Amino acid sequence: MTQEIISYETLRPLLNPKAIAVLGASENKYKIGHLQIQALIDGNFQGEIIPIHPSASEIAGLKSYPSLAAVPGDIDLVIFCVSFNQIKSGLIACAEKNVKSAIIFASGFSETGVEGQKLQQELAQYAKEHGIRIVGPNCVGLVNTSNGLIGTFSPAILTVPMDGKKGVGYVSQSGAFGVLTYMAAAQQGVSFNYFVSTGNEMDASFEDFIEYMVHDDETSIISGYLEGTKKPEKLKVLAKQALNKKKPILLMKTGRSDAGSRAAASHTGALAGSDIIYDAFFKQNGIVRVEDFEDIIAFSKLFNAEKLPTGKNTVIITSSGGRGINEADRCESYGLNIVELSEETKVEIRKTLPSYASVSNPIDLTAAASVTNPEFYLEPLKALVNDPDVDNIIFTDFPFNWDENTPMLQEFVAVAKASNKVIGLFPFPLDGLTFPKATDTLVANDIAVISGTLNPVRALSKLVQYSLYVKENEQVSDVASDYGAAPIEDLLQPGSTLSESEASEVLDRYGIPTTKRAIAKEAEEAVEMAKTIGFPVVLKIDSPHIPHKTEADAIRLNVSSEEDVRKAFEEVMSNAKNYNPTAKLNGVSVQEMLPNGVEIIVGAHNDETFGPVIMAGLGGVFVEVFKDIAFKVAPLTRKDAIDLLEELQGKAILDGARGKAPVDKEAIIDVLLKVSNLMNDNKETIKELDINPLIVYENGIKAADAMIVVQEKVAEIQVVGG
């Protein structure tokens, strides 16, 4: 479980080099060895650019050297504009010259199969030994707009402006999608200060660059395109550090559709797709999951660490009823609340608007506002900034001709700046036609102006979510401490599925309440046990090879007499034998018959990426038909456990729907935390666990059935974040 600690400072030469050598520099203007040099020149790189060419004395007007060794001064970064088969020799030359970092574009490595993978590992090992940090291979490089480092051959990057004003860093696991996002952002007026395409991540990983940006004072927003993390534990730590600094991390995680439920014995295994676990992980750690590239751009425009939304109550101000309703629909569909204004505020607004205007939210100033009465845009704002129930104010349009010299605009800006509300103008997308003259003034005064093409309403809802993460981060909710569990190693036979009684014993040792039970080998023994436990009882086959007892018809509920116990014993045994003649039968488990309560399911499985993951749901038909379940990555904090229940669609059932008393939620939370401990303590051995049903009462809780699957071989387990 140890992760290597290499300081993010070692990435500095990659992103802030003083001298760059270009290996494979070319005089041919169409080769990347030339394009790359030209890009550095055109980007006004603030350092030395050194072409390396076997024979040329000058390339693109710069003095060229025949080899790295021939360069007189130090080299921080080497950009490899050479093909696949020249990488190794290049790295050796780097090591000899004591170069600190490299960008490798070439493909032909791990993405091509086993051979490429082997070569890549070999080179990575070599680079590590010689202290060379590498981005790539199979990437499009990186950009740092603050020093003009265009470390990419993609000519597209240079067609857009290069001023990373807002400090938005962007890391992408897809080169092409990253470049497109970078360009779209720049076209929309957001120039990322860093752009990194991570490629095969042979050395520096997605998470490493996030780490660099968390510690970089130039960066105020961290964003990225993620296909999959290999270092979830590192990402978790970084997310916490970023939250403490109020530096949002926005990740677009693709592959939502990759559900592919795995063949698994437990409910939990079958229900957990990889995407749903990412979702849980992001929520638990305060990472904003964005839907698409527009969200990163629009969020960046809206974001101001000093003025985060105080809530989701939103007011819309429009000069068109239709636009107002449309925007209100959008807000509600993304979870914002179109707040009903107080009478006081309405009266205040009404004073300044004509009778035909609507002072209900959405506030409709009518066409008069755009044609003859621009003051209509100013007056309601004055009332709204004083209303504590209003968090966010959206204008759908704005006086077209106001400019920085217009007194009303000056007043508008002053009122907006003095308020703690998030205020934005979200014009209808018409190729610039709908941006007012005052756009620059508004933006300069923290009133975001965002075209409708960027889905600014969705971005606002993400900002509200982020604001909530920041608030929650200020409240402590630690992982549950030791529950004094007894050792269970003796019960965990590798590769086995535990019988119910064995699984229940595991739960017992972790302090999770289970039913009174005993295993009978003979009918008469079962009768004695039933008398001890007290009638009515349940009889079930106990066998590691028959996990689905109902299917085998090897379970009898509500057995009320000695005679019935004898009969049930024989039936259960004989049905089990018929169902699976080779199954090992431990006997018949005689258990107390639990009274009716609310059935819960609690499950867990060891996820390939995230390690132990805990699931909660309402049992029976709710889990099977409605798939009403929620997931969290272990170890759970108390808040995680509470959220697991809060996220259930049917949570009202726990609160006592239809006149029933509320159930003992604390008892469920207690079980969830204990299961989290159990899974976390045994992540190298327990593969899957189901408690189904877990029956919860007004007071108390009991696991009525349980199943545990143990890992095949301990040697083969997945080390998380390794």
Sites of contact with a second copy (CB under 8 A): 107, 111-112, 156, 159, 172-178, 180, 183-184, 187, 225, 227, 254-257, 292, 319-323, 325-326, 328-329, 331-333, 338, 355-356, 367, 428-431, 433-434, 453, 550, 620-621, 624-626, 628, 649-650, 652-653, 657-659
**Closest approach of Cβ 68 to a second copy, in Å?**
28
Nearer to a second copy (CB atom), residue 413 or residue 546: 546
Angle CA 261–263–267, to nearest 5: 75
463 φ/ψ angles, rounded to the nearest 5 degrees: -65, -40
H or E element at residue 271: helix 267-271
Give the total residue count for the chain.
Answer: 722
**Residue 654 or 720 with smaller CB distance to a second copy:** 654
Give the nearer residue to a second copy in terms of CB position, either 323 or 702: 323
Closest approach of a second copy to the CB of residue 347, in Å: 19
Shortest Cβ distance from residue 171 to a second copy (Å)? 13
Q: How far is the CB of 621 from a second copy (least distance, A)?
A: 6
In this complex, which beta carbon is closest to a second copy, that of residue 14 or of residue 185?
185
CB of 10 to a second copy, least distance (A): 27
CB of 102 to a second copy, least distance (A): 21
The structure tokens listed for 196 are 């990194």
Taking phi over 0 as left and psi of -120 to 50 as alpha, with beta for the rest, 565 belongs to: alpha
Closest contact distance (angstroms) between CB of 156 and a second copy is 8
- Of residues 45 and 80, the one with the C-beta less far from a second copy: 80
Minimum distance between the CB of residue 720 and a second copy, rounded to whole angstroms?
24
**Residues contacting residue 283 through CB under 8 Å, at least 6 positions apart:** 289, 643
C-alpha distances (whole Å) from 520 to each of 509, 566, 589 are: 22, 11, 6
Q: Among residues 92 and 652, whose Cβ is nearest to a second copy?
A: 652
Query: Nearest CA to 513 among 635, 707, 699, 694?
Result: 694
Residue 329 Cβ, how far from a second copy at the closest point, in Å? 5
How far is 682 from 718, CA to CA, in rounded Å? Answer: 13
CA angle centred on 541, ends 546 and 687, rounded to 5°:
40
Number of other residues whose CB lies within 10 A of the CB of residue 213: 29
- Of the pair 282, 510, the CB lying nearest a second copy is at 282
**Among residues 198 and 285, whose Cβ is nearest to a second copy?**
198
Cα–Cα dist 500/702, whole Å: 14
What Å distances lie between residue 567 and 526, 528, 536, 539, CA to CA?
A: 11, 14, 14, 10
Which lies closer to a second copy via its Cβ, residue 144 or residue 172? 172
Count of other CB atoms within 10 angstroms of residue 696 = 21
**In the complex, what is the shortest distance from the CB of residue 551 to a second copy, in angstroms, rounded to a whole number?**
8
In whole angstroms, how close is the CB of 107 to a second copy at the nearest point? Answer: 8
With a CB cutoff of 8 Å and minimum separation 6, the contacts of 585 are 541, 542, 543, 573, 576, 577
Contact 614, 636 (CB under 8 A): yes
519 SS3 class? strand
Cα 155 from chain centroid?
32
CA torsion sign for 260, 262, 266, 268 is: negative
Nearer to a second copy, 222 or 365 (CB): 365
Q: Considering beta carbons, is residue 428 or 535 the nearer one to a second copy? A: 428
SS3 content of the chain, % helix, strand, coil (to 5): 40, 20, 40
Q: How far is the CB of 277 from a second copy (least distance, A)?
A: 16
What does each C-alpha distance from 553 to 217, 337, 518, 539, 595 come to in angstroms? Answer: 65, 52, 20, 11, 21
Indicate the residue among 36 and 677 with the shorter CB distance to a second copy: 36
Tell me how far apart the alpha carbons of residues 309 and 393 are, in angstroms, rounded to a whole number: 10
Rounded Cα–Cα distance for residues 624 and 616 (Å): 13
Strand order in the sheet with 19-23: 48-52, 19-23, 77-80, 101-104, 133-135
Cα 516-517-520 angle, rounded to 5 deg: 160
| Alpha-helical segments (H) within 334-477 | 343-350, 367-371, 379-384, 407-418, 439-444, 456-474
By C-beta, is 17 or 273 nearer to a second copy?
273
CB of 324 to a second copy, least distance (A): 9
Query: Per the structure block, which two tokens stand in for 556?
Result: 């009898």
Q: CA-CA distances (angstroms) from residue 473 to 283, 470, 535, 632, 662?
A: 12, 5, 51, 17, 29
Question: Considering the complex, what minimum distance in angstroms separates the CB of residue 326 from a second copy?
Answer: 5
63/256 with CB nearer a second copy: 256
- Nearest approach in angstroms of CB 545 to a second copy is 21
Nearer to a second copy, 304 or 333 (CB): 333
Distance, in Å, from the CA atom of 665 to the CA atom of 653, rounded to the nearest integer, reads 11
Residue 86: closest CA among 28, 24, 20: 24
Least distance CB 327 / a second copy (angstroms)? 10
Q: In terms of CB distance, is 109 or 510 closer to a second copy? A: 109
Neighbour tally for 606: CB within 10 Å: 24
Q: What is the DSSP string of 124-188?
A: HHHHHHTT-EEE-SSS--EEETTTTEEE---GGGGGS----TT-EEEEES-HHHHHHHHHHHHHT
**In the bound complex, what is the minimum distance in angstroms from residue 272's beta carbon to a second copy?**
18
Tokens read off for 53: 């060419």
